[in-house]
């Protein structure tokens, strides 16, 4: 006992001298009952030779080294001393081992060192047990209390809903040091799984999960159609499905226009629907036999359409005469939604004398004109089908703007061709007249071997047999004596004059020779003086008269030449 007191006094002195050296690594150590703790110094192994090492618990010595080991009773078999660093291992810990441990080390040479640390010994946490006051709950109407029990010391509790930590709120309270969790007015999100984790500084354990069965609904009751269309063709099949958020699963019943049907279950099948089922309203009702709540879906209307077929486009008249009115009517079998009009390949553009009415069923022309002619199309459609009809409008008009094509002058004996044209639908019929006398019926008038008597006015009368209108044009024709072989008028006149001169000269020469020959044969006596002069003047006068006669009455040779050339 005296030896222990001496060591204790010596330790106190050295501690006072080396206060704050802190030769132990840890200020606080935690350990479990029955476990082991290691008090480790900061000394480097084998750098020191210890004169003495003393370990104390509180004020009591538990181990001394002064060349040999000396363990205090009660610690024998529980302590291991490490000569290289002066560290100490304590085994088989008990709650009573909690407290302050200190060490004082005196080397053979140099100053001594000391240090202390606090040891806390805890009972380890046992497996937690989780219980619930009830697991079958009604949303918003029930409360539940969850309790977590475990053995051990210095226990703390952590609650989890699935993987999320549960914290306190208006509906959630933690009591009994966190061991009890109370939830009021539970919701479907409180169904768990709930877990409880219990821990202390030396151990931790988690309970088995517990789930709550929380009944709720029905709500968000919804009716859907498959295929999901706004309109259905006559003869189609439709599957209606009812759904609702509910626990347990809701039960369903069906209504048609508000009247309860015998059908139950989440599906209602409509097979081969007909036009008689068009615009019928269906709805479903969900019921929860736990909450005793029910909810009805929004009504869903089934719209049935008959496919478009047999499109036709008809006119109010068989004779669309210019200036008259006309109606084109577009019809079809089936459920008609829209009618679209085209002219040719383009959308129809209405003019001031055109209107669409009766939901585009009728296209009206207040006054037809030739510009209205063309191919009209009417496209009838609904969301499921369409059909098209065409009609050709050929506006009847005319005749107008009658014109004659052909020569206004032609040579004798040539062929005359006159052509008559008129603007008219249908094509006009043509009659040719000359001097009020009908001479031909067709657009082309032909006359072979024309004579001088064919000169004059030619009239072409064009008649539209439907409109009953007649229009005419006049063409003046001059037939000329074409003996010049096609030469111009000036050339012909020149040739005629030249021929007259030649013929006249020939006639005069022949007369002179004849007269001279006659006188020689009669052997006239030559004269001289006044008699000769008188005869000379007489001959000149006869010559002039002869030339005048030849000019006025050409010789047969000249006439023959003129006719043949």
Q: How do residues 48-85 score in pLDDT, each as one tens digit?
A: 788 999 999 999 999 999 989 999 999 999 999 999 99
Look at residue 562 and tell me whether its pLDDT is greater than 80.
no
Q: Which residue has the higher pLDDT, 559 or 181?
A: 181
Higher pLDDT, 518 or 180: 180
- Residue 63 pLDDT: 97
For residues 315 and 285, membership in a common domain is answered with no
pLDDT score of 224 more than 90:
yes
Tokens representing 364?
A: 């009206």
Can you give the residue range of the structural domain that contains 60?
Answer: 2-122
Question: pLDDT-derived band of residue 538, with 50, 70 and 90 as boundaries?
Answer: confident
Burial 494-517 (b: 16+ CB within 10 A, else e): ebeeebeeebbeebeeeeeeeeee
- CATH code for the domain in which residue 373 is found: 2.60.40.10
What 3-state class would DSSP assign to 35? coil
Phi first, then psi: what are they for 531, rounded to 5°?
Answer: -65, -40
Identify the domain boundary among 122, 151, 178.
Answer: 122
Number of domains in the chain: 6
Q: Per-residue confidence at 512, pLDDT binned at 50, 70, 90?
A: very low
Residue 33 lies in a domain: yes
| Residues whose CB is less than 8 angstroms from the CB of residue 74 and which lie 6 or more positions away in sequence, other chains included | 62
pLDDT of res. 199: 97
In the prediction, which pLDDT does 513 show?
34
**Residue 465 CB contacts under 8 Å (≥ 6 apart), including other chains:** 426, 429
pLDDT digits (tens, 9 = 90+) for 388-407: 999 999 999 999 999 999 99
In a domain, 474, yes or no: yes
The percent of residues in the chain predicted with pLDDT above 70, rounded, is: 82
Q: What is the pLDDT of residue 528?
A: 44
The answer to whether residue 485 is domain-embedded is no
**Count of CA atoms in the C-beta half-sphere (13 A) of 437:** 4
Any idea which residue has 């802190």 for tokens? Answer: 22
Do 117 and 134 fall within a single domain? no
Q: Would 468 be classed as within a structural domain?
A: yes
Average pLDDT over residues 220-243: 96
**Based on the domain organization, do 32 and 118 belong to the same domain?**
yes
The yes-or-no verdict on residue 553 having pLDDT over 50 is: no
pLDDT digits 0-9 by tens, 289-341? 999 999 999 999 999 999 999 999 999 999 999 999 999 999 999 999 999 99
Question: How many helices (H) and strands (E) would you count in the chain?
Answer: 4, 43
Are residues 367 and 324 part of one domain? yes
Is residue 470 domain-shared with residue 544, that is, in the same domain?
Answer: no
The answer as to whether 17 is a domain residue is yes
Pair (18, 90) in one structural domain = yes
- pLDDT at residue 472 is higher than 90: yes
Q: Same domain for 6 and 118? A: yes
Q: Is the pLDDT of residue 485 over 60?
A: no
Pick the last residue of a domain from 364, 393, 422.
Answer: 393
**How confident is the model at residue 533, as a pLDDT?**
61
Mean local confidence (pLDDT), 359-388: 96
**How much is the pLDDT for 67?**
87
What does DSSP assign to residue 352?
T
Greater pLDDT, 554 or 87? 87
CA angle 444, 448, 449 (to 5 degrees): 150
**Contact status, residue 78 vs residue 31, Cβ threshold 8 Å:** no
Q: How far is the C-alpha of 429 from the C-alpha of 406, rounded, in Å?
A: 19
Q: What is the mean pLDDT of residues 229-246?
A: 96
Judge if 32 and 102 occupy the same domain.
yes
Averaged pLDDT score across all residues of the chain:
86
In a domain, 180, yes or no: yes
Do 439 and 376 lie in one domain? The reply is no
**Digit-coded pLDDT (tens) for 493-506:** 444 334 343 334 44
Domain co-membership, 220 together with 272: yes
Res. 546 pLDDT band, cuts 50 70 90: low
- Residues 101 and 330: their CA atoms lie apart, in Å, by 110
Of 87, 122, 157, the residue at which a domain comes to its end is 122
Q: How far apart are the first and last CA of the chain?
A: 184
Mark whether 476 and 409 lie in a shared domain: yes
Q: In the prediction, which pLDDT does 45 show?
A: 87
Q: What is the mean pLDDT of residues 451-455?
A: 93
pLDDT at residue 47 greater than cutoff 80 = no
Same domain, 17 and 115: yes
DSSP 95: G
pLDDT mean over 264-291:
96
Asked, for residue 378, whether it belongs to a domain, the answer is: yes
pLDDT of residue 1: 36
d(CA 209, CA 205): 13
CA distance 222 to 226: 13
User: Does residue 240 fall inside a structural domain?
Assistant: yes
* Axis-axis angle for helices 489-521, 530-552 (nearest 10): 140
């Amino acid at each position: 006992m005296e030896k222990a007191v001496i060591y204790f006094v010596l330790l106190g002195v050295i501690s006072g001298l080396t206060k704050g050296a802190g030769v132990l690594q840890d200020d606080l150590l935690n350990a479990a009952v029955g476990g082991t703790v290691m008090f480790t110094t900061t000394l480097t192994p084998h750098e020191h030779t210890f004169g003495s090492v003393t370990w104390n618990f509180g004020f009591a010595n538990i181990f001394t080294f002064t060349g040999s080991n000396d363990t205090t009773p009660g610690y024998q078999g529980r302590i291991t001393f490490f000569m290289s660093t002066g560290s100490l291992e304590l085994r088989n810990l008990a709650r009573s081992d909690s407290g302050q441990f200190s060490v004082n080390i005196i080397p053979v040479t140099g100053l001594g060192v000391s240090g202390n640390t606090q040891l806390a010994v805890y009972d380890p946490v046992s497996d937690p047990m989780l219980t619930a006051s009830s697991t079958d709950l009604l949303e918003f109407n029930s409360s539940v209390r969850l309790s977590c029990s475990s053995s051990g010391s210095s226990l703390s509790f952590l609650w989890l809903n699935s993987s999320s930590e549960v914290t306190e709120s208006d509906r959630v309270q933690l009591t009994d040091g966190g061991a009890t969790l109370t939830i009021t007015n539970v919701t479907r999100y409180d169904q768990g799984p709930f877990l409880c984790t219990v821990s202390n500084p030396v151990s931790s354990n988690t309970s088995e999960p517990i789930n709550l069965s929380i009944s709720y609904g029905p709500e968000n009751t919804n009716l859907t159609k498959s295929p999901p269309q706004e309109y259905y063709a006559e003869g189609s099949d439709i599957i209606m499905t009812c759904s609702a958020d509910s626990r347990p699963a809701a039960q369903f019943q069906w209504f048609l226009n508000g009247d309860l049907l015998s059908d139950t279950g989440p599906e209602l099948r409509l097979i081969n629907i007909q036009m008689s089922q068009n615009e019928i309203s269906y709805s479903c009702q969900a019921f929860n036999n736990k909450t005793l709540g029910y909810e009805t879906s929004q009504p869903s209307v089934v719209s049935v359409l008959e496919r478009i077929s047999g499109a036709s486009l008809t006119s109010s008249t068989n004779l669309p005469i210019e200036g008259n009115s006309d109606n084109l009517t577009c019809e079809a079998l089936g459920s008609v939604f829209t009618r679209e009009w085209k002219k040719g390949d383009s959308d129809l553009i209405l003019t001031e004398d055109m209107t669409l009415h009766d939901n585009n069923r009728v296209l009206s022309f207040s006054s037809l004109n030739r510009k209205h002619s063309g191919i009209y199309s009417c496209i009838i459609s609904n969301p499921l089908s369409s059909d098209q009809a065409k009609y050709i409008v050929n506006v009847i008009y005319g005749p107008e703007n009658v014109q004659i094509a052909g020569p206004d002058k032609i040579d004798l004996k040539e062929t005359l061709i006159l052509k008559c044209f008129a603007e008219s639908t249908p094509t006009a019929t043509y009659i040719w007249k000359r001097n009020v006398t009908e001479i031909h019926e067709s657009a082309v008038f032909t006359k072979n071997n024309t004579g001088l008597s064919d000169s004059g006015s030619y009239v072409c009368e064009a008649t539209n047999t439907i409109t009953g209108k007649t229009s005419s044009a006049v063409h003046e024709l001059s037939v000329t004596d074409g003996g010049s072989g096609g030469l111009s008028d000036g050339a012909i006149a020149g040739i005629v004059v030249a021929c007259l001169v030649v013929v006249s000269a020939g006639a005069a020469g022949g007369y002179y020779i004849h007269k001279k020959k006659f006188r020689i044969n009669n052997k006239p006596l030559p004269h001289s003086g006044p008699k000769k002069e008188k005869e000379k003047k007489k001959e000149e006068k006869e010559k002039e008269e002869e030339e005048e006669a030849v000019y006025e009455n050409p010789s047969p040779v000249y006439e023959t030449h003129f006719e043949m050339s």
